Chains A and B, each alone.
Chain A
């Protein structure tokens, strides 16, 4: 099903660029216990192959942050740069999010499960208290973009998380990534995570899962985040500070590298790419039935990104992701529940189109009532009409046969390109007494029954249309309105 496509589709574009890594990252972000589905796991397995070096790097990074949580003072300069970066990111994110509310939700949810999502973090520069230095503590080679990641996290996760939590998030995110990536193989990596990190990782995982539930707009996310995805990617590649994986990430993420100083830039880019990847990966992972607004918005994001990031060709939307909206729980159960609810609402809308007069009805209960009433009325109409047919039938036995025969005859005539001929016997049947034409038709019918199957459809369509026209024209003008009025007005019993 979609799962299969999910597993298969990521392959091509995974191989194409670092989106795979992003997905991996996002996948890894999902905590093992919180992964609602194993789509991620499978995808991770696929993606893992490509990201083995990244995995090792991540694992190393994961292990390193453990030590860095002790609270190393942040160099002032880095803080400043980071603040600026975050501010810029926040502005970019805000602009992107303003255009699309789902963006905020996407960005928010991945990084913060609590509903209190706000852009406060992005709106104001991160105070110096932000333990950005912790990010720097991480080994630069494998995962140098801790500050960048933090900024990305801040940017996308409009959550009420304190800035001080970012590095935790970053680290936890990495940890979660690693763990999720290997389908919980790296659970041991998460073990050494301090409790705080675990909490953040959980949040991250929740958010990741949420984002994974969103529609797959991996690139879209990055596009919105940064218009410089291309440049970032290129820059990252040009600045391979032992970040082979980072560059891959950077290509995917659209974080604005230009604005950051080089070392910061790399780190922030890496962070951004990571966060972007996370978001993208999160979006990619889960199957989703359909998220209308979210899907549309995601598609918009995707379009933006595709426009901006030539390097990031739009990934095939083979699998649908459900994106958790802002302020919604990120629990896997609630996510699945949301998917189910959205499926049901989609079908309710389809039913709304079927049931006449339900366009203004809103609400599932009222709609269900209308549907029930409509089905009951339809069944009553069938009963009524069958009663009518039962009373009429004795007189029209021959007519029915004649009609059938006429159909066959009409079909034969049609097949013989005598389009006008069928009309005449038909009209003759309707207007005149049926005996003579019936007998003649029956004679014909016996010969034509063999061809009954061929033009039956055509004949029936033909005679039915003609029948309706004839009937309405000549005879049923008084009955037609009544019958037509029956439907939907409940006046079925008028005739009876």
Chain B
């Protein structure tokens, strides 16, 4: 039932398990950091929880995928920026991206136009906006990353739903 931890496995079961662990771990750390019971800080908590969700997702997947790398990079930059600026609101990635030397994602070519020079349709542009880290990839890699991203997102959603179910019943 419980296979040994396979770091590179994309089996949904193991992925879910790993996601659960990681997410719980992150949530725990998050809650330990600050106890924001105030309603005004619910938004803060919400952001942190969301960040923890994406972070756990990216950490579980590791550096295998472009989107996970992009997320990890964003988080790292965000942490650096928050450390320097103590920004509580969710910083925009673009802003910090420019301030910090970008390594992977390419924000120098934001998809402003509907049709890329390559002739990409507006849909591809939208997809590139949705999936992190695929801005410079070709259509083939884009679809690959999208598939992996969808899979991990679905697993993360399931884990979170289970957690909410669990917490709401306790």
Point out residues on A near B: beta carbons under 8 Å: 340, 343-344, 347-348, 350-351, 354-355, 365, 368-369, 371-372, 374-376, 378-379, 381-383, 385-397, 399-401, 403-404, 407, 429-430, 434, 455-462, 464-465, 467-468, 471-472, 474-476, 479-480, 483, 486-487
Contact = CB atoms under 8 A, between A and B. Distances in A.
A471 B164 CA distance: 11
B53 A386 contact: yes
Contacts of B52: 386
Given A386-B53, A390-B42, A430 B143 contact: no
Interface string B37-57: 100001001101110111000
B79 interface: no
A138 to B, nearest CB: 46
B167 A395 contact: yes
Interface in B1-41: 1-5, 13-14, 16-18, 20-21, 24-25, 27-28, 31, 35-37
A486 B162 CA distance: 13
B109 interface: no
Interface stretch (B58-66, B81-89, B100-108, B147-155): B147-155
A387 B123 CA distance: 29
B135 to A, nearest CB: 15
Given A390-B49, A394-B36, A461-B13, A476 B169 contact: yes
Main secondary structure of the interface of A (DSSP, over half): helix
A350, A396, A457, A476: which has the most chain B beta carbons within 10 Å?
A: A457
B139 interface: yes
Given A347-B143, A351-B147, A376 B53 contact: no
B21 A460 contact: yes
A378 B157 contact: yes
A457 B4 contact: yes
A465 B16 CA distance: 11
Contacts of A397: 31, 35
A465 B165 CA distance: 13
A344 B140 contact: yes
B161 interface: yes
Nearest to B54: A382
A301 to B, nearest CB: 28
Contacts of A407: 21
Contacts of A472: 165
Given A430-B170, A457-B4, A458-B2, A390 B48 contact: yes
A378 B144 contact: no
Given A396-B170, A457-B5, A371 B35 contact: no
